[in-house]
Amino acid sequence: MSVPRRPPALLAAPLLVLALLLTGCASGAAPAKTPVGAPGQGAAGPQSDAASALRASPTAAPVPSPAEIPDLGPETRAAIPADARQAFVVTGEEADSNQSSAVLYSREDPVKGWQPLAGPWPAHNGMEGWTDHHVAGDLRSPTGVYPLTDAGGRLPDPGALLPYDEHPRFAVDGEGFFGEPLEGSFDYVVAINYNRTEGVSPLDRTRPLGLERGGGIWIHVDHGGPTQGCVSIPEEHMEELLRTLDPVMNPVIVMGDAQTLGR
């Protein structure tokens, strides 16, 4: 006697139940979870990867500002013409002192700014110090910023770049305030354009502000003592200055006591 076979549908149902018990309720496998903190994943998931990349990207280094002449205040810096690329800075110790220090600066590269070129050199100024309102005979040097356009002296041109007037009238004799000999003081000079006309010999006596405001303010060879209002530096530095000041660079002198220049 043959055993009756079960219909195929009846066999399939128990098998389906068994498959569901083994695989769970999902129709497919559940995606594997990436552990928090695993490489390539932030705590917040894939979106944090972009933020992490931005944080890790290199930051451009700040561009340094062009160097300024040290110890000059905003008012003094503003008085230096924009086209001036050489500045001879003469800084007095005190308002009533006749002792100074001089440094030549150059601004050849606008990105680097002002760079020291020569000095510091010892210098003298007026016997009574400095003033912002110079008058004839006050024995003080005028403070301020003035162009340097003309040179000259008793001795032959040492290689000056500024126009140079060699003339015997630059000869001087006598004694200074401390009895030091003045001979040779005007062997080399650079005219400071205070109350004078540019483009002429330092010997020219034209005074646009009037005679009462003084004039004949020069940079000249130091004689070992204070001046009547000029600035003086040792002879070897005077020669170097003459060979360095270049009219193409529109040189100026920045002069005064340290407190005034710091404004």
Query: pLDDT > 90: what percent of the chain?
Result: 75
pLDDT at 32 over 90: no
The conformation of residue 250, written as its DSSP 8-state character, comes to -
By mean pLDDT, which of 21-25, 110-114, 223-227, 236-240 is the weakest?
21-25
Q: Which distant-in-sequence residues (6+ apart) come within 8 Å of 257 by Cβ? A: 91, 92, 93, 94, 95, 97, 129, 130, 143
The whole-number pLDDT of residue 56 equals 53
DSSP alpha helix (H) spans, the chain: 8-23, 47-56, 74-79, 235-244, 258-261
pLDDT bracket for residue 22 (50, 70, 90): very low
The whole-number pLDDT of residue 59 equals 64
Q: How far is CA 249 from CA 71, 91, 147, 170, in A?
A: 22, 22, 11, 27
- Domains identified in the chain and CATH numbers: 82-261 (2.40.440.10)
Closest CA to 130 of 227, 234, 251: 227
pLDDT at 58 over 70: no
pLDDT at 10 over 50: no
**pTM score, whole prediction:** 0.76
CA distance 163 to 171: 19
pLDDT digits (tens, 9 = 90+) for 141-190: 999 999 999 999 999 999 999 999 999 999 999 999 999 999 999 999 99
Q: What is the rounded end-to-end Cα distance, in angstroms, of the chain? A: 126
Residues forming a β-bridge with 163: none
pLDDT at 18 over 70: no
Taking residues 210-226, what's their average pLDDT? Answer: 97
pLDDT bracket for residue 223 (50, 70, 90): very high
Contact 64, 96 (CB under 8 A): no
pLDDT digits (tens, 9 = 90+) for 190-205: 999 999 999 999 999 9
Determine how many CB atoms are found less than 10 A away from the CB of residue 130: 28
The whole-number pLDDT of residue 62 equals 73
Q: What is the mean pLDDT of the chain?
A: 85
By mean pLDDT, which of 6-20, 130-144, 174-188 is the weakest?
6-20
